[in-house]
A and B are shown apart, each in its own frame.
Chain A
């Protein structure tokens, strides 16, 4: 199989269409298993009771939010380096999903925080970095929508994603450092007790489930982007290829 063939959006379109159902099915199945393990199999935490079980959503969502930002930045970088349209489309498609996971992580973090610390929001290093990460996702998407010229929109948001990827670890470090200074507000998020094997297992399964979910959703969104961009008269010269793509659907 010649992989480079699929770097062209027209060729990628039908391939993505064939792959999406598989990723979606695996995502749903794994999510079912992971949630069952998390909510019914994993033992009750002797300090936090049942409320800790939100971590089976919270932690994988937080991991995905950071992971997806890095992946988005990599696609943006590849797009800049190779001038590849599909890479920019991938970066564009990843942003909303990444932002969604960031928001999910913040929401579940607040839900966990209320019974655990007695407050919906604490300025913990991880929560604060997630919040800033959400702002950066918002920045990438807003910059893209404010620019009409597609090529400039692609490249400008790519530059911003790449700058942001340098910033994320610095923010994490700086907020952690800031917390050690302000002892009063400092809260440790680690559960203290050793994590049971089933808990870890459930968390990993949920992470893989989110991963497959992300791939399915992102591929679907890339397909939308391909249609959206290429229905423009830009590809007038290559109507045959478009026809083929539409038929394959």
Chain B
């Protein structure tokens, strides 16, 4: 198949998913609300001491963003699996992995990007400002697509499996560890004055690696689920 029809199929999927998200705006808003609530719980739990909040801020915000991504994973493929659209996706003359990448990109636009855009406000709540705040946003911008890519593997593996909500968390969270430590490390490093560049580069490398590998694993998992 030639490249233009591949592009057409991928952009068709992205457009359709964005249109669906527009029709159901509450779905997209949910992960953002979740992020805000989780991040707001921590000051209530550990106390309003600014120094403490500043210390735990990067880690808390990153963990909250990670959980928000995790929670939205069930929406990547489930609806398409139930109504038969996923079958159609497998039976097209384009490589499934490329279509999967398109779907995950749409999912990131809907549930990952809002998290990134909201993060500076939450950073201010935790007393971050200046360079660390910028590094926080940048680290989430590089890290959340990786979370979506890796999470899609788990989401595809548990399609139609009983207890899939909890199972996907157990499968995916261990895989999120490197991204979490690079991401939170970048912000902490920037606060400590040693800069976040090294960690940001590692986040970028993780993104590239997951872009190359994750769609293939996800495609394999989808085929297995549809057999």
Contacts and interface: CB of A to CB of B under 8 A. Distances in A.
B217 A146 contact: no
A167 B163 CA distance: 24
Contacts of B158: 143, 146
Contact of B171 (A160, A162, A178): A160
Contacts of A159: 153, 157, 217, 220-221, 224
Interface string B140-178: 000000000000010001100111100100110111011
A178 B185 contact: yes
B43 to A, nearest CB: 22
A29 interface: no
Contacts of B173: 135
Nearest to A132: B174
Which applies to chain A's interface (DSSP): helix, strand, loop or mixed? helix
A175 B177 CA distance: 9
Interface string A129-157: 00010011011001100110001100110
Given A164-B175, A178-B181, A138 B227 contact: no
A247 to B, nearest CB: 35
Given A146-B163, A177-B185, A178-B185, A156 B157 contact: yes
B130 to A, nearest CB: 19
Contact of A135 (B170, B194, B213, B227): B170
A142 B175 contact: no
Contacts of A135: 170, 173-174
Contacts of B167: 142-143, 146
Contacts of A162: 217
Interface residues of B, number: 31
B225 interface: yes
Given A146-B163, A162-B217, A174 B175 contact: no
Nearest to B157: A156
Interface string B195-209: 000000010001000
Contact of B178 (A146, A147, A174, A181): A174
Nearest to B194: A181
A142 B224 contact: no
A146 B182 contact: no
B119 interface: no
A146 B221 CA distance: 15
B134 interface: no
B81 to A, nearest CB: 13
B222 to A, nearest CB: 10
B157 A181 contact: no
Interface string B84-120: 0000000000000000000000000000000000000
A146 B162 contact: yes
Contacts of B189: 181
Interface in B2-57: none
9 contacts: A139-B170, A143-B158, A146-B161, A146-B167, A152-B227, A156-B224, A163-B153, A171-B174, A173-B178
Given A143-B157, A155-B224, A171-B178, 4 more contacts: A80-B220, A135-B173, A177-B185, A182-B188
Interface of B: 153, 157-158, 161-164, 167, 170-171, 173-175, 177-178, 181-182, 185, 188-189, 192, 194, 202, 206, 213, 217, 220-221, 224-225, 227
Interface of A: 80, 132, 135-136, 138-139, 142-143, 146-147, 151-152, 155-156, 159-160, 162-164, 166-167, 170-171, 173-175, 177-178, 181-182
